[in-house]
Amino acid sequence: MKLYFAPGACSLSPHIVAREAGLDLQFTKVDTQTKVMEGGGDFWKVNPKGYVPALEFEPGDVLTEGPAIVQYLGDQRPASGLVAPAGTRERYQQQEMLGYINSELHKTYSPLFSPATPEATREERKAYLQKRYKLIEERLAGRTYLFGNTFTAADAYLFTVTRWAKFVQLDLSGFPNVLAFQERVAARPAVREALKAEGLLV
């Protein structure tokens, strides 16, 4: 299997999950501006949606969308605990959290990276994110990770998008549980491996 990624993008989430699961994947970097892959090649031909992540099983057989990819990867190593068994209430609760991170956090960050976004819109988006992080802050109270002491795919996704706060000047100082969570996740060996592989560790 081959994972197409861009350093620091949302594809960091499945990258982390793959390393946490101990899966032997190939990794191909994509320039998200030009859509050219490392070593050459048109990424549009791999993923017609034009964005990462994309998990290729073989040419023409590709799975896209981060929440789907992380669940597939986690299912390849059930003992890892990265995703709960299919059909269980816990699995649907994890899907619920993945959906929340995707729709309420990830998609709200996106316009903050565009220089064309008006300042008023930026401030409105930041205020919205602060409201949405309140739920995460409360959930992490007394917990190591989102679902207790077990690191899951949802934690990898939350860590990935929350890393973006510093790049868009989003103040998270009022969320100590979230900040402590970020530090705990960043210290995990597999996470450090993924960050280093993407050139995100100095």
Q: What digits encode the pLDDT tens for the residues 78-115?
A: 999 999 999 999 999 999 999 999 999 999 999 999 99
pLDDT band at 202 (very low <50, low <70, confident <90, very high): low
Mean of all residue pLDDT scores within the chain? 98
Structure pTM? Answer: 0.97
State pLDDT tens for residues 18-69: 999 999 999 999 999 999 999 999 999 999 999 999 999 999 999 999 999 9
CATH number of 83-188: 1.20.1050.10
The conformational region for residue 8 under phi > 0 = left, psi -120 to 50 = alpha, else beta, is left
Domain ranges of the chain: 2-78+191-198, 83-188
Q: Are 39 and 46 in contact (CB under 8 A)?
A: no
CATH architecture, domain defined by 2-78+191-198: 3-Layer(aba) Sandwich (3.40)
